Amino acid sequence: MHFCYIIATVANDPGWFDVERLPTLIAAVIAIAIILYTTYHRSSREKFRVREIPALKAVEEAIGRATEMARPLLYTPGWGGDIQRPTTIASLNMLAHVAEKTARYDCRLVFPTHDPVIMSVAQEVVKEAYIRAGYPDRFRQEDISYVSSSQFAYAAGVDGMISRLKPASIFLLGTFEAESLILAETGNSIGAIQIAGTDSTIQLSFFIVACDYTLIGEELFAASGYLSGDRSILASVRAQDILKVVIMFILVVATVWSTVSFVTNGSTEGWWTF
């Protein structure tokens, strides 16, 4: 009854759709259609090659190194994001694969975070990964811990962990802000192998300089499919490439169009109008 009331209210009110957001809706619908097609259409899911991503190839090496050195592996999603952020979800997806391997190799996994919700989800993700690997007894809940919601208290706390535990490998994957370089340089100072990735273009430059491997841009979002080899996830990664080609095509057309407009009219103002 309540649902019918909502539908009736929406249908009778012409202001239910924000016309200013129509271009965004059209772009979103096109993007979603391409993603759904590549993910669910059988021929589209078959036979395509995913290029090698050095940072993801190094994941095994990083875990192996920590195991051989009998030192822990530290994984942190940064201070900037919460669980609603796709970057955090992508980071937790990758955490599951890392945790499965640390469980098999009996390597200690330490996961400090600034957000209690992320901590709860990460505990479940890691616990399930350890069960899946067949070693539930190796799971240590206390190693997936909440440090502080304050940015520099979190940075100081994780820095302290890095200095005292001396992890052999450090994964900095998620949303980072000013703490990125503090953590990366501390990790570098103890000689840890570091794999980093973030959605912040400013912090990316710090990671590129301070870390051994960096996932740039969409590579972080492709990590889960790359590591698991799941065809459905990889197919959606392929959709990203198709969308990039579409965007590039639009950019080239727009550039040519505005240039022609400039040459003929002497101005680029209103070049997209006929």
Partner 1 sequence: MDRKIAVVVCFAFGVVMFAQYFSAHPLARSVNQTIADYWQIIFAFALIVGVVGFLSNNLQRVHKGQDRPFRLLALAGFVIMPVLAMIWGIKAGTPFLWVFENVQVPLQSTVFALLAFFVASASFRGFRARSVPAAILLSAALIILISRSFATGPLSDWLPGVAEWIRNNPSMAARRAILIGIGLGSLTTSLRVILGIERTWLGGGK
Residues of span 156-195 touching partner 1 by CB under 8 A: 156, 159-160, 164, 178, 181-182, 184-185, 188
Least distance between partner 1 and beta carbon 28 (Å): 8
Max CA distance (Å), the chain = 73
* Sheet-wide strand order for 193-198: 144-146, 109-113, 73-76, 169-174, 193-198, 213-215
Is residue 265 involved in binding partner 1 (CB under 8 A)?
A: no
Asked if 153 contacts 182 with a C-beta cutoff of 8 angstroms, the reply is no
Least distance between partner 1 and beta carbon 153 (Å): 7
Is residue 7 involved in binding partner 1 (CB under 8 A)?
A: no
Is residue 253 involved in binding partner 1 (CB under 8 A)?
A: no
Tell which one of 146, 166, 190, 261 touches partner 1 (CB under 8 A): 146
CB closer to partner 1, 151 vs 261: 151
CB closer to partner 1, 43 vs 84: 84
Q: Which of residues 41-100 bind partner 1 (CB under 8 A)?
A: 84, 86-87, 89-90, 92-93, 96-97
- Letters for 116-135 (x = contact with partner 1 by CB under 8 A, - = none) are xx-xxx--xx-xxx-xx---
Tell which one of 45, 108, 228, 271 touches partner 1 (CB under 8 A): 228
> How many angstroms separate the CA atoms of 167 and 165, rounded?
6
Tell which one of 75, 79, 206, 226 touches partner 1 (CB under 8 A): 206
Tell which one of 70, 153, 254, 256 touches partner 1 (CB under 8 A): 153
Tell which one of 142, 264, 270, 273 touches partner 1 (CB under 8 A): 142
